[in-house]
Structure 1
């Protein structure tokens, strides 16, 4: 492992130790293990369940229930209100994720570095969603969503950091694939919850939140989380601002990986946020059919994603290749978005969602594994993955911010075309990453 400074915190893993330590596998400065360790199946299973439940609680509102709740309260201004709420929440998520990642790297607790943030995030997220579900006003929804975004992104910052903490490079394609499966699996169940409890916002929001508390609690209970044994240097103003930055000149591979993820997720944020409004405005779907049709499309896309994510991650590990999979995935998503932009019927939209789902599954399966191989420092993985997660959260803010103006200029055709172009640019940028095949 790379030489640490005298002010850096030292860590020692309690029993049971991480897979790399169990196998006596040395780490390079980039955190790459020189030989594979045995796959810790129990840990993988609990991680998968916690990931699924976290995404269920966070993405169900983003894709369906938040838009329905806003429409229920103020249908005349639904687009503007939804854009504002999503934008504020995404901005807070952009700040919270890297900051909590840095703080979790530095956390001195008898319960480890990651565990306290995951438990606190699950509980805080429940509170935020409860406000949305029970207080029928736009300002209350904005406050509740802000709390939920802060809390769930604290949870995700710590949860994502457990991938390089706990799993060897040889297994990260499969773990990343499972992580991608949980995102799409959560969308499938979330769509079902939304359609099953139409008009009952308490159940639409609180069932996913309660599942998250249970699953995250189970993962944390058995997690071999490392503890700090020496107090880190004081958290200075420079450290605070450093939480949001990794120098791309010093770490160009990290910079290109960040841009790739940002462009890809910017493109995919648009259909996620505006599908509920796209259906009636483009296809003339009646209001009482919107939730059902949206659920059908999400289900189709998610099934395709689930079908390819697992095999894609396994094949990436098997071949020892990441970049060809990410490039192919971005191109597929771009094609799917072009098809959505020009879809004249619901049947055409189904075909577009199939292509989109296949590309999305492949991207989610492999891109995170690629990112873990270009992290600058194994001692700051929480912070560095938090910076990566800015690329996850920022598109959720930018897409709703620019969408109203784009819709005025060229409607949904222009909006989805812009999304498609961003995916093609992402595919091009992957080729600039060096040191990863």
Structure 2
């Protein structure tokens, strides 16, 4: 079994190449809670809350809030990832950031739920995005910190399954609590906090000797946002592919509630339930697909072909959404989008960790740059979606979903030039 030897900066931690079961369970629980807190508002509760506050301008208000939050997340992820890489706390490099960000995230979600104005929701959502992107940077860094490359497909598959489960559990919890209510925002945040507390208690975190910490300068901070694609072309292609698949998925994820109401003719309650059902269908396929294909990717020693095929599957689902207007068609399309997205992220994250420029002393920072590709589409999609929706008369969801199809195809094509991973 491959052994990953800890460098001098963390002499007390031996990385065996795999996570112990207690740590893996805690890691999975914290991942589940984190994505519940991040995805439930994006999928359902934020759209409902915005419509409650300003029904006449719901699309533009939602785009503003999502876009502003995405910008905050874009800045937070790599900057705090770099700070995590340089943290010399006796509690470890990742644990202080995990615990602190989860607490701030609950505060932000509470503010969103209690606010009676669009401005208050905007501020609260920016706090949420900052907090949980800090958490995301630390969480993803645990993969190269503690898992050998030949086992990352399996672990990435488990984490991808948790992300899918988070969507269905979060939307189910929100529907029980009434979407748009304060508790529908706060409850997923509390689940995230409990998961992080469990992980912090079990995690044998790396520790950095203060004498080994590089001197931080403003230029270092600015470099948090950049990895040269000319010097690290594989990293650049992986970044671009992830950006494209997220842009594709964001085209449907942010607007599915309005699509179900405006195009299919469902009531608000029916649309909310249908989103939950669609997420449930996705989750069944993602749980099966991400675990199986993550394991198979490790066994075959191949990553690219799985990423390409999964992006193509997501593209086929988006194409179906562009051409159909029935409930059954919607559910089948969302199943394909979910399966493609789930398998993509399960295998792609393993691929990404194998093309990092500096996986030992700069993992969180480099993964923070990768997460710019995750967060940036959340800002760009709400900005460009109105352009597609405005084509012709009325809200043109066909044009929006066709654009998403093109983005998913681009995600598949941009994986092929990667040479350092099979």
Do the two structures share a fold, i.e. TM-score over 0.5? yes
The answer to whether residue 108 in structure 2 is matched with residue 111 in structure 1 is no
User: 1:210 Cα deviation (Å)?
Assistant: 0.7
1:10 CA displacement: 5.6
The 1:199/1:422 distance shift into structure 2, 3 A limit, reads closer
Aligned residue among 367, 371, 387 for 1:385: 367
Q: Report the alpha carbon displacement of residue 266 of structure 1 after superposing the two structures with TM.
A: 0.6
Q: Which residue, 403, 410, 414 being the options, matches 1:425? A: 410
Alpha-carbon deviation of 1:18? Answer: 2.0
Answer yes or no: is 1:276 the counterpart of 2:261: no
Quote the offset at 1:357 in angstroms: 2.0
- Kept in 1: contact 2:45–2:180 (CA 8 A): no
Q: Who is 1:210 aligned against?
A: 190
Question: Which residue is 1:30 aligned to?
Answer: none
Measure how far apart 1:96 and its partner are. Answer: 0.4
- Give the TM-score normalised by the residue count of structure 1: 0.92
C-alpha spacing 1:387/1:77, structure 2 compared with 1 (3 Å): same
Q: Secondary structure of the equivalent of 2:254?
A: helix
Map of 1:342-357 to 2, 5 A cutoff? Answer: 342-357=323-338
Question: Which blocks of at least 5 consecutive residues in structure 2 are unaligned?
Answer: 1-6
What does residue 18 of structure 1 align with?
A: 15
Residue in 1 that maps onto 2:284: 303
Separation (CA, whole Å) in 2 of partners of 1:264 and 1:199: 28
Aligned CA RMSD, in angstroms, stands at 1.3
Cα distance in 1, alignment partners of residues 387 and 264 from structure 2: 21
Residue 4 of structure 2 aligns with which residue? none
For 2:370 and 2:401, locate their aligned partners in 1 and report how far apart those are by CA, in whole Å. 24
Report matched runs for 1:231-270 at 5 Å: 232-270=213-251
The alpha-carbon deviation at position 233 of structure 1 amounts to 3.3
How far 1:43 sits from its partner (Å)?
1.9
Cross-structure match for 2:397:
412
2:22/2:202 contact within 8 Å kept: no
Residue pair 1:191, 1:299 contacting (<8 A) in 2 also? no
In structure 2, the CA distance between the partners of 1:330 and 1:200, relative to structure 1 (3 Å rule), is: closer
Is the contact between residue 108 and residue 231 of structure 1 (CA under 8 Å) also seen in structure 2? no
What is the Cα deviation at residue 39 of structure 1?
5.0
Kindly state the Cα deviation for residue 362 of structure 1 after the two structures are TM-superposed.
1.2
Distance 2:128 2:8 in 1: 32
Q: How many residue pairs align between the two structures? A: 411
Distance (whole Å) between structure 1 residues aligned to residue 115 and residue 413 of structure 2: 46
Give the counterpart of 1:226 among 206, 209, 220.
206
Listed as ranges, the gaps of 5+ residues in structure 1 are 1-8, 20-36
Maintained 8 Å contact 1:179/1:364: no
Describe the superposition over 1:173-218 as per-residue Cα deviations: whole angstroms up to 9, x where unpaired: 0111011111110001011012112266122011111111111011
Q: 1:340 aligns with which of 305, 312, 321?
A: 321
Given the superposition, is the C-alpha separation of residues 364 and 233 from structure 1 closer, same or farther in structure 2, using an over 3 Å criterion? closer
**What displacement does 1:307 show?**
1.8
Following superposition of structure 1 onto structure 2, how do residues 323-338 of structure 1 map, counting pairs within 5 Å? Answer: 323-338=304-319
Could you report, residue by residue, the CA deviation over 1:197-251 in whole angstroms, capped at 9, with x for unpaired residues? 2266122011111111111011011211111111523321210110000000100
Following the alignment from structure 2 to structure 1, what is the Cα–Cα distance between the partners of residues 242 and 94?
24
Q: Which has the higher mean CA deviation after the structures are superposed, 382-391 or 43-52? A: 43-52
TM-score (norm 2): 0.95
Q: Which runs of 4+ in 1 moved over 6 A?
A: none
- The whole-number CA distance in structure 2 between the counterparts of 1:270 and 1:200 is 22
